[in-house]
Amino acid sequence: MAMHTRSDGAPGGRLLLIDRDESHAQMVTETLSQCLGQAARITVASGGRPGAELMRDVDFDIVLADLSSLGDLAERSDDAVGRLVRLSRGALLVALSDGASVSAAVGAMRAGAHDYVAKPINGPAMAARIGELAERHGKGRSLGIDTRSATGLSDFAGFIGSSSAMQFVYEQIGRIAASSAPVFITGESGTGKDVCAEALHAKGHRAGKRLVAINCAAIPRDLLESELFGVARGAFTGAHEDRKGAAELADGGTLFLDEIGEMDLSLQSKLLRFLQTGTLSRVGEAGVRHVDVRVICATNRNPMQLITEKKFREDLFYRLHVLPIHLPPLRQRPTDIMVLARHFLERYAAEEHKRFAGFSSEVAGLLTSAEWPGNVRQLQNLVRRLVVMCDGGEITPHMLGAADIESRGLAPVSETPRAERRPAILPMWQQEQRIIEDAITSFGGNVSLAAAALEISPSTIYRKRQGWAEMAQAS
């Protein structure tokens, strides 16, 4: 059972990789060495038993354990993980598993693993996960990891953030940008759905053509069809000339339909026909025109709930929902909050010709622990108000409290009466809904994995979702 260490003279902490597949272990080792640089020494063990022997003799900072390589340690992988956890002496344990081995990954988490990563391993994403875990558990210093550089990209095509959640989004955009298949973007208001659409267009082969965007919620319903498909001269009073719609203007490029859930059902049927045939007719025109566009759409609402409420055509949803991307809310990527805040501070200070020395530690703590219901847009607006209202220097809690005019949720404790500080209490079903939906989002939309993490059955989640949709419809 071969074991070897790759240190390269690295002064940082220690990582143990348990993997009986020698070629895969070498690939992971080389990839992590490239991503982490001189940050850590990586030791490889060819099975669970030699890995356990090493852990008895050496204090590791992080242990990466391939679940399929632990059979010599225990018959069940979760039992083997439990034994490694007992030997870990504080090491962070990350389980590696096949993407199909969801139950094994969840069992490892229950047995004490801090996280799991699906195979095949993506180097930058893996390094990002290690960096995030190290920071969260206080091992960044011992590993010598500079999370600003070790956690992958910190900005990408208009996005700012280096958390593992955003690395996953960046990877998705990079993979699907070159396709012409429709993209369906979901995410709460303020998460950057328009930025995602622009990134997909800019990184695809249609970048040389136009990206034309329509906000379906901002245009009156009786005008949306003409804005989308165009108008023929004489179609109605005031139509003195032929006018192209957004679909024709985007010919050869990308058509972005924002807030598509607000589109009228009758227009949805015409959009479906356009997607199926690649042809359209201007309002008041008998003939058809051929148009070649890539369609990207977005909504901040639950599309399945809209379908249940008969507000969105199911056949249109499945025509559009070919390549889905979900943008995580800001509260699920707290490591990005201060990165974003500093970016906005620098940007708006330059615009206002002011000089700021950054944020105090107290303000950083308040910003990082906030819920941010308005997501990145809310944080952006807050920082802009800070820059406009303040003269410069370091941002203090008092300055933050004065600028936080939306909720007063970030005001310093000493300046906020107790009655005003009491958080709003949501009904139990709404709290339960938030917990379940956040869990599903955390696992990339995988209901089975979210259910296992919450220790409930997938059928319970589906039943509760149906109940929430019926409650919303009744109200």
Q: State the alpha helices, DSSP H only, in 93-144.
A: 102-111, 123-136, 140-143
Q: Which domain holds residue 272?
A: 165-326
Is residue 143 located within the same domain as residue 201? no
pLDDT by residue (tens digit) across 253-297?
999 999 999 999 999 999 999 999 999 988 878 788 999 999 999
CATH number, domain with residue 196 = 3.40.50.300
Query: How many domains is the chain built from?
Result: 4
Do 393 and 339 have their domain in common? yes
d(CA 125, CA 130): 9
- The verdict on residue 301 lying in a domain is yes
Q: Are residues 181 and 261 in the same domain?
A: yes
Helix 361-369 with 337-352: angle, nearest 10 deg: 120
pLDDT in tens, 45-102: 999 999 999 999 888 888 999 998 999 998 888 889 989 988 888 788 888 887 555 5
Q: Tell me which of 305, 326, 347 is where a domain ends.
A: 326
Residue 347 confidence (pLDDT): 92
39 within domain boundaries: yes
Decide if 40 is inside a domain: yes
**Cα separation of 99 and 444, whole Å?**
12
Integer Cα distance of 411 and 135 in angstroms:
27
Map 381-396 to HEC letters. HHHHHHHHHCCCEEEC
Whether residue 449 is found in the same domain as residue 317: no
* Domain C-terminal end among 101, 127, 150: 150
Give me the chain's average pLDDT, please: 81
Do 219 and 292 share a structural domain? yes
Residue 158 falls inside a structural domain: no
For the residues of 242-278, what is the DSSP string, one character each?
A: -B--HHHHTTTSEEEEETGGGS-HHHHHHHHHHHHHS
Q: Does 168 score more than 50 pLDDT?
A: yes
Residue 421 pLDDT greater than 70, yes or no: no
CB 373 within 8 Å of CB 411? no
**99 lies in some domain:** yes
Reported as a single tens digit per residue, the pLDDT across 92-127 is: 888 888 755 556 766 777 777 877 777 777 766 677
